[in-house]
Amino acid sequence: MAASTTTGDFKVIGTRPIRPDGVDKVTGRAKFGADYAFPGMLHGKVLRSPHAHAIIKSIKIDKALKLPGVKAIVTSKDLPDAENKLEQAGEMTINPMYLSMNILAHDKVLYDGHAIAAVAATSPHIAEEALRLIEVEYEVLPPVMTVDVAMKPGAAILLKDLRNNEEGDKPTNVAQHFQFKRGDVAAGFKAADYVIEREFSTAMVHQGYIEPHNAVGIYNSDGQATIYCSTQGAFDVRSLSAYVLGMPVGKIKVVPAEIGGGFGGKTTIYLEPLSVLLSKKTGAPVKLVMSRSEVLRASGPTPGGKIKLKMGATRDGKLVAAEIWMAYEAGAFPGSPVAAGALCIIAPYLVENFQIDAYDVVVNRPKTNAYRAPGTTQAAFASETVIDELAEKCGIDPIDFRINNGVKEGSPQIMGPPFKRIGFIQTCEAIKNSPHYKSKLTGKFRGRGVASGFWFNAGMQSSASVNIHTDGTASVVTGSPDIGGSRASMAMITAEVLGMPMTDVRPITADTDSIGHTDVSAGSRVTFATGMAVYEAARDAVRQLIERAAKVWEKKPDEVEFRDGMLHAKGNGVPPMSIKQLAPRFPRTGGPITGRASVNARGVGPGFATTVVDVEVDPDTGKVQVLRCTIAQDAGKAIHPSYVEGQMQGGTAQGIGWALNEEYFYDDKGTLRNSGFLDYRIPTCLDLPMIETVIVEEANPGHPLGVRGVGEVSIVPPVAAVANAIYRAVGVRMTQAPMSPPRLLKAILKHRGAAQHSAAAD
Amino acid sequence: MPTVVIPALLRKFTGGVERAELPGRSIRELIRQLGEQFPGIDKQLLEDGDIRPSIAVSIDGEIATGGVLDTVAENSEVHFIPALGGGEV
């Protein structure tokens, strides 16, 4: 279902062709990172810390090195010193010293699973056996697992060099404080008839991609290295590995393999520099593949944290003030997405008076990484629950409350400047008019909840080239690993501009030596920014086609037009010529045609989504079953609607998992107790209904095709929508996620006890 | 003149002033003017002659990409915000 406000007479864009990478994937021919094999290849394994927080007093590798089949062992002593300084690396701001410390622990281990040493051997089993022979002496320190503990005066300090922007030269676990303010908060609350104040907590959760991290590194004697790996950004793997290894960027080539899911989690490096380092020591290719347990213990989940939120509204339903305090668990090194969360938490609404204080806090957990709309789902859980409560106080339908307070073109963003053309209200109206919202939900212990979400979306750098082949078909080459069907959309954009069927365009994801710099596939940026580069590259090819046809016809280029895939000479008597007819004449008219473009894309259009969920709660067990779910999301323009719907459904499914089950569970020693998919439970098809979708198309004026980007915002509303639905089902306002059966049952029993106590008192 | 909106935590350098109208035509000029008017604030925004990696510049509601080289219009509004790309490491 689609509600489109975009215009445009498209022939390919907006259709639903079969994906070009489909056959290879269903036949098993697609090559994922772990599929790569080379003659003489060795296998690597990583020794990981059993402690959450400890000083490494010594590492002895002699016994392990003597094990037959073991070829090399590396520890942090094999890494060059890295600078303690912030650097820009693609989408990320990185501190090379912390990055290096995360790849291999230096003098301290900072979380359960922190890498200490890596072994290369002739088989994975020998490498694993060698890990058992490495002797590490630790001095165990108290683990700091939560923001509450980390922020307490006198808390154990994780990073001796860490200083923040407010406390001078004092060691701290608070890496940074962000603050955003507008208006007069005290006056705003004075004008409010209703004020709701709540404290929320959320758990650390993982992206749950099915394919574990992997890397094959080959270091040649000429000083050149090649890395084959599963990544969302080959260029980022190259630059980050260069920092860690102390190598020039130009000496590293990264070949992105097919990717089995990333969702933000594959935007950094873990195994890649280790594979190169071990290859350099042994002279052989070295492959490393994480186990599921390693993925959960030692890759980058999204943070849990705490949010205290106070909001006020007038009796007629106008939001007038908000005061927000939020702190996120960055993991062992600074860099949680708390600033993003702060800028998104009330972004869908016009609130004239607010103050948001946000803290990035290091704790003894794995360093967090991006996860769809980083930092925002946690934030929306708090704000969208309180907004639901305010709507109820005001006696206003929760969708109408959102529409009445919602931002539109010209409304100020949290950081001040006005929004350009946006589609938030349209997503609310699409849900309000959906068959789902119009249907009646009946039955005991059933409830319906709604929530909305905002995400910035990103632009950044992309390169593309469009090659016209000698038979008049084409290929489009980009540097964006395809994480959500982007090869289809790049081929479709090319086909649209060239006026040819999509099946005549072959899309390719190139390695870092074969295409211009392209930032990571993240931030919902690929269809927007790489799509912009592809659009421009295809237009560059068209310009060249016009020049060639003009040569053939002995006319000037401005006497030739290109429309509907045909070249037309102005004036009568010259029959039009197709690209297929012109292609054989390329050699006589100047040679091959390649359209090229590189962009640092401006004109990003932010994304909004609104979701409605029906649930049924089992009051005796606390188990929640999602009965029905519909999401409306503004895509700007859906290039391939099926893949847009797939992103909407995928993000919603992950959001429901976040709401109901998923959490990192650490014991009091800081050891992760659920490092497998049996105990870290992501939703299965038995847990979810078919998620209904409504694509809203409010064209982004900053993109030639109106594209916004659709990969992230769908994950923002579900946690709050489920919480609001649970409230309507059983009368309990949940302030802690996940709302797992034991946690919800406890809340139901408490609520029931309070109700019985109140009835007895009456 | 272009308006620079001072980030909340840097208003200690401006004595609480939230907005400053400055006669620059580039981000570099605006920061220089800002530093002259409110000593010390420019050092919070710059590192090695360009915008600090932890800071992004928003011009008229859009994240700019050119660092100190970006130009501004007569009525532009400039904000300095945290760089949001997935954090450190």
Residue A354's Cβ-side half-sphere holds a number of Cα atoms within 13 Å equal to 30
Residues A720 and A656 in one domain: yes
* pTM tops 0.80, yes or no: yes
Residue A264 to residue A209: CA distance in whole angstroms: 10
| pLDDT at position A571 | 81
- Identify the structural domains of chain B with CATH numbers, from first to last: 3-82 (3.10.20.30)
- Position A404 in a domain: no
Taking an 8 Å cut-off on Cβ atoms, the answer to whether B63 and A86 are in contact is no
Residues A718 and A612 in one domain: yes
Question: Which of B43, B81, B89 would best serve as a mutation to test chain A binding (most A beta carbons within 10 A)?
Answer: B89
| pLDDT at position A762 | 65
Of A601, A616, A648, the residue at which a domain comes to its end is: A601
Residues A612 and A759 in one domain: yes
Residues A613 and A735 in one domain: yes
Residues A549 and A663 in one domain: no
| pLDDT at position A421 | 95
3-class DSSP string for A182-203: ECCHHHHHHCCCEEEEEEEEEC
Residues A557 and A683 in one domain: no
Residues A540 and A468 in one domain: yes
Residues A492 and A447 in one domain: no
Is A712 among the residues known to form the active site?
yes
User: Residues B16-67: pLDDT tens digits?
Assistant: 999 999 999 999 999 999 999 999 999 999 988 899 888 889 898 888 888 9
Four-residue CA torsion sign, A494, A497, A498, A499: positive
Burial of B16 per CB tally in 10 Å (0-12, 13-18, 19+): exposed
A61, two tokens: 């590798």
- Position A36 in a domain: no
Contact A410, A419 (CB under 8 A): yes
Residue A308 to residue A151: CA distance in whole angstroms: 15
Residue A560 to residue A567: CA distance in whole angstroms: 7
Residues A579 and A675 in one domain: no
Closest in B8, B63, B88 to A604, CB measured: B63
On chain A, the residues whose CB falls within 8 A of the CB of B89 are 92, 94-95, 98-99, 102, 268, 333-335, 367, 369
CATH of the domain at A688: 3.30.365.10
Residues A686 and A756 in one domain: yes
Nearest to A598 by CA among A541, A523, A543, A517: A517
Among chain B residues, CA nearest to A520: B85
Residues A539 and A592 in one domain: yes
| pLDDT at position B85 | 56
- Position A310 in a domain: no
Residues A443 and A469 in one domain: no
Range of the domain at A1: 1-30+423-454+606-762
Looking at this predicted complex, what is its ipTM? 0.88
Taking an 8 Å cut-off on Cβ atoms, the answer to whether A417 and B79 are in contact is yes
Contact A324, A196 (CB under 8 A): no
- DSSP secondary structure, A589-633, as one string: HTS-EEEEEEEEE-----EEEEEEEEEEE-TTT--EEEEEEEEEE
| pLDDT at position A6 | 52
A149, two tokens: 């503990």
Q: How many domains does chain A have?
A: 2
Of A571, A601, A631, the residue at which a domain comes to its end is: A601
Beta bridge partners of A608: A454
- Position A408 in a domain: no
Of A567, A601, A635, the residue at which a domain comes to its end is: A601
- Position A573 in a domain: yes
- Position A301 in a domain: no
- Position A473 in a domain: yes
Interface of A with B in 582-601 (CB under 8 A): 600
| pLDDT at position A126 | 98
Cβ contacts from A onto B, under 8 A: 111
Residue A580 to residue A569: CA distance in whole angstroms: 16
Ranges under pLDDT 70 in chain A: 1-8, 90-92, 761-762
A456, two tokens: 């910035």
Taking an 8 Å cut-off on Cβ atoms, the answer to whether B83 and A88 are in contact is yes
Angle CA A316–A185–A352, to nearest 5: 55
User: Residues A260-292: pLDDT tens digits?
Assistant: 999 999 999 999 999 999 999 999 999 999 999
- Position A576 in a domain: yes
